[in-house]
Amino acid sequence: MRCSVVRVPSASPSDVAALRQQVENGGIDPHEVVAVIGKTEGNGCVNDFTRGYAVRVLSDFFAGLAGEAASRISYVMSGGTEGILSPHLTVVSRSEGTGAAKPQSNGKALAIGVAKTPAFLPEQIGRLAQVEQVADAVNRAIREAGIEDKADVHFVQIKCPLLTADDILDAYSRGEAVVTEDTYKSMGYSRGASALGVAVALDEVDRASLEEADICHNWEKYSGVASTSAGSELNYCEVIVFGNSSHAEGPLFIAHDVMKDAIDADALRRLIEQHSDAEIVQVLAKAEADPTGYVRDRRHTMLNDSDINHTRHARAVVGGVLASVCGDPMIYVSGGAEHQGPAGGGPVAVIFRH
C-alpha cells in the first residue's frame, strides 16, 4: 500500500475548483481516493448544513470522475472554521505499492484503513451500543490498513451522528428514551461514545470496566489518538485509521502527541522538532473547552456563554495556537474532545513527508 495526502482550499462548501485542478494536474487520482476530510465554514453544531452540502457536492464530483469506484470514499466533514482556520479538504488516497523506500528508519510508512459501523437508532447514540460498534469498526479498519502493532495507530478520525428534534420524537414514538433531549449536547455524547470505542479497540480503556455512566462523565478514560466529529448528515459512523505500517511504502508517515490543554503549543512543537528533517503535510487536532471551567488555573467563560457554543470558542483557540506554531491556518482542528485526550486537552497528529 502507498498512501497520499493532498490538501486543497475551498472557497465555499460547494467549491471544487482547487480540487478539480489537483485532479487535472495529476496530484489526485479519483480512482484511488478513499477519504476526504474537510473543514467547512458552518457553525459546527446541530444546524450546520455546510457538512451535508459539501458531501453532496463531493459525492457528485467524484462519481462523475470515478463512477462506481467513488462509492467507497469516506467523507468526514467537520464544521466550524472559527478564527483563522481556513476551509479546506484533506484528500486521502491509497494505491498498490511498488516496493519503494520507506520514510522512517523503522521501515514503516503511512497506512490508512477505513470502515463503517451499521446505522444507529436514536436511542443507541451516546451509549455503549455505539462504543462497541465503533470499536469493532476501528479493528476492521486497522486490519484493512495492514497495521500490525496498535502502537502504530496515530490518529483515528470518526464522523458520527447526532440527535435532531425529529430523532428524539422518533425514539419516543417507539417508547425509547434518548441519552439527552438537548440536540447540541447529543453531539458531545456521540463524540464521546465514539472516542471510547477507539480507546477500547486500542486497549487504552478496558471494555470490561467501562460503564454507560462513564460516557461524558469519567474523563479519566480517553483515547490519545481519537478524533471524533458529529453531524446530522449520517446515522452511522465513518472510521478512518491513520498509522504506520511495514506493509506500506512511500515518503509519508504520521506521528502524534497529546495537548494537555488548549494552549499547549509545546505538543506540536515537540512533534516538529522530533522530525525536523521532514516536511509537514497536514496537522490534525481536537479542541475543547476545559470542562472544569478553568485553563491553567484561570477561569474561562466558554461554558457559560449562551451566545456562542463552547466548541466554537475552542476551535478558534486551538486553531490559532497550532497555526502560530506551524505557520499555516489551513489545518484540521475539530471541536469537542470528549474522551479524546485528557479533559481540556486533545490529540494532535502530523502527517510528515520525508
- For the CB of residue 160, give the shortest distance to a copy of itself in the complex, in Å: 17
Does residue 324 carry a catalytic annotation? Answer: no
Kindly identify the residues of this chain, within the stretch 312-331, that bind a copy of itself according to CB under 8 A.
Answer: 312-314, 316-321, 323-325, 327-330
Does residue 286 carry a catalytic annotation? Answer: no
- For the CB of residue 63, give the shortest distance to a copy of itself in the complex, in Å: 12
With CB under 8 A as the contact rule, the residue among 116, 127, 150, 185 that binds a copy of itself is 185
Kindly identify the residues of this chain, within the stretch 153-182, that bind a copy of itself according to CB under 8 A.
Answer: 164-166, 168-169, 181-182
Q: Is 79 one of the annotated binding-site residues?
A: yes
Q: Angle 116-118-124 (CA atoms, 0-180°, nearest 5)?
A: 120
Angle of helix 128-145 versus helix 183-201 axis, rounded to 10 = 50
Q: What does the alpha-carbon distance between residue 248 and residue 270 come to, in Å, rounded to a whole number?
A: 25
Closest to a copy of itself by CB, 140 vs 315, is 315
Q: What share of the chain is helix, strand, coil (3-state, %, to 5)?
A: 35, 25, 40
- For the CB of residue 101, give the shortest distance to a copy of itself in the complex, in Å: 32
- List the alpha helices (DSSP H) in the chain: 17-25, 50-66, 128-145, 165-173, 183-201, 265-274, 310-326
Q: Is 233 one of the annotated binding-site residues?
A: no
Task: Count, in order, helices (H) and strands (E) of the chain.
Answer: 7, 14
Closest to a copy of itself by CB, 69 vs 263, is 263
The length of the chain in residues reads 354
Give backbone dihedrals phi and psi of 252, rounded to 5 degrees, phi first.
Answer: -95, 150
Q: Angle 189-194-198 (CA atoms, 0-180°, nearest 5)?
A: 145
Closest to a copy of itself by CB, 318 vs 350, is 318
Site membership for a copy of itself, residue 85 (CB under 8 A): yes
Q: Is 312 one of the annotated binding-site residues?
A: no
Kindly identify the residues of this chain, within the stretch 103-142, that bind a copy of itself according to CB under 8 A.
Answer: none
Q: In 3D, which of 254, 267, 268 has the Cα closest to residue 353?
A: 254
Q: Is 4 one of the annotated binding-site residues?
A: no
Kindly identify the residues of this chain, within the stretch 232-261, that bind a copy of itself according to CB under 8 A.
Answer: 232
- Give me the catalytic one of 223, 229, 232, 245: 229
Give backbone dihedrals phi and psi of 214, rounded to 5 degrees, phi first.
Answer: -70, -25
Site membership for a copy of itself, residue 21 (CB under 8 A): no
Q: Is 340 one of the annotated binding-site residues?
A: yes
Site membership for a copy of itself, residue 43 (CB under 8 A): yes
| Per-residue contact string for residues 46-75; x = within reach of a copy of itself by CB under 8 A | xxxxx-xx--xx------------------
Q: Compute the chain's Rg from CA coordinates.
A: 19
Kindly identify the residues of this chain, within the stretch 257-296, that bind a copy of itself according to CB under 8 A.
Answer: 262-265, 291-293, 295-296
- For the CB of residue 345, give the shortest distance to a copy of itself in the complex, in Å: 12
Q: Are 278 and 288 in contact (CB under 8 A)?
A: no
Task: State the DSSP string of 265-318.
Answer: HHHHHHHHHHTTTSEEEEEEEEE---TTSEETTEE--GGG-SSS-HHHHHHHHH
Binding residue positions for Mg(2+): 288, 337, 340-342, 345
Binding site for substrate, by residue number, is 51, 78-79, 191, 229-230, 315, 334-335
Q: Where in the sequence numbering do the catalytic residues fall?
A: 159, 229
Please give the annotated binding residues, written as ranges: 51, 78-79, 191, 229-230, 288, 315, 334-335, 337, 340-342, 345
